[in-house]
């Protein structure tokens, strides 16, 4: 079991690639809050427009997408993000195709993160209450493929290099969310990190019907993960160090 005990000078740039607004708040926003506190530059890349996530039949997809983008921007301000990039693919229909991979590779080359977090590309069926969202798997697969080899090689998507002037970039580490107790890497968090992440989650008003209950669940879960490493709070990941 590896615990993140690096100094704040070892890395300074990070990126989180997810499918929807609020995915990162649930999955890794404690780590994002910690990075921002340590002076890192953190960028979110959202693959879809979030236009399907409602049971309200009076809301159009276009209006919902606008609301969810605004919510994500406000959550980003709470977390201290450098930028939020919206790729704009339709919610619910995301595929890990070459177009999505190219667009993520573009953001990697543009912002040059040393660490990238994304979602698990595999449906593990370990929980009896959640079977997973296909957009999450697609975003994870596209992001991992963008990291290696698309963002690294100038001959992959050469238009990024020749037409847009984006130099290739090698991501140093990839952290994959949603492994819980089966993770190989644990990031300890402070109380302030957790509280900041909960404040960010509560910005997603259209998605969080009971903010206090959601915040309590997030705090309890991170406390449970923290016990694994004798920390007050933690988030866990499957970590890959790339050569």
62-92: pLDDT as tens digits: 999 999 999 999 999 999 999 999 999 999 9
117-154: pLDDT as tens digits: 999 999 887 776 778 899 999 999 999 999 999 999 99
Question: Which parts of the chain register pLDDT below 50?
Answer: none
Q: Which of 166, 187, 174 is nearest to 241 (CA)?
A: 174
Cβ 106 vs Cβ 156: under 8 Å: no
Topology classification of domain 2-241? Rossmann fold (3.40.50)
Peptide bond into 149 cis (omega under 30): yes
The answer for residues whose C-beta is within 8 angstroms of residue 160's C-beta and 6 or more apart is 102, 105, 106, 109, 166
Structure tokens at 140: 């994870």
- Tokens 């963008």 correspond to what residue? 146
């Amino acid at each position: 079991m590896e615990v993140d005990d690096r100094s704040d000078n070892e890395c300074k740039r990070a990126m989180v690639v997810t499918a929807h607004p609020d995915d990162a708040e649930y999955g890794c926003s404690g780590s994002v809050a910690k990075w921002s506190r340590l002076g890192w530059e953190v960028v979110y890349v959202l693959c879809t427009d979030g236009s399907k996530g409602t049971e309200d039949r009076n809301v159009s997809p276009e209006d919902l997408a606008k609301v969810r983008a605004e919510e994500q921007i406000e959550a980003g301000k709470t977390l201290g993000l450098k930028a939020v990039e919206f790729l704009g693919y339709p919610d619910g229909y995301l595929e890990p195709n070459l177009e999505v991979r190219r667009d993520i590779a573009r953001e990697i080359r543009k912002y040059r993160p040393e660490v990238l977090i994304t979602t698990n590309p595999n449906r593990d069926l370990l929980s009896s209450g959640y079977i997973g969202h296909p957009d999450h798997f697609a975003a994870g697969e596209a992001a991992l493929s963008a990291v290696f080899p698309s963002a690294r090689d100038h001959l992959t998507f050469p238009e990024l290099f020749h037409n847009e002037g984006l130099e290739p970039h090698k991501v140093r580490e990839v952290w994959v969310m949603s492994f819980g107790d089966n993770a190989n890497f644990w990031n300890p968090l402070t109380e302030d990190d957790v509280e900041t992440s909960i404040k960010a989650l509560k910005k997603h008003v259209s998605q969080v019907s009971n903010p206090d209950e959601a915040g309590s669940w997030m705090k309890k879960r991170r406390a449970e993960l923290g016990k694994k490493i004798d920390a007050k709070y933690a988030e866990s990941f499957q970590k890959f160090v790339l050569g």
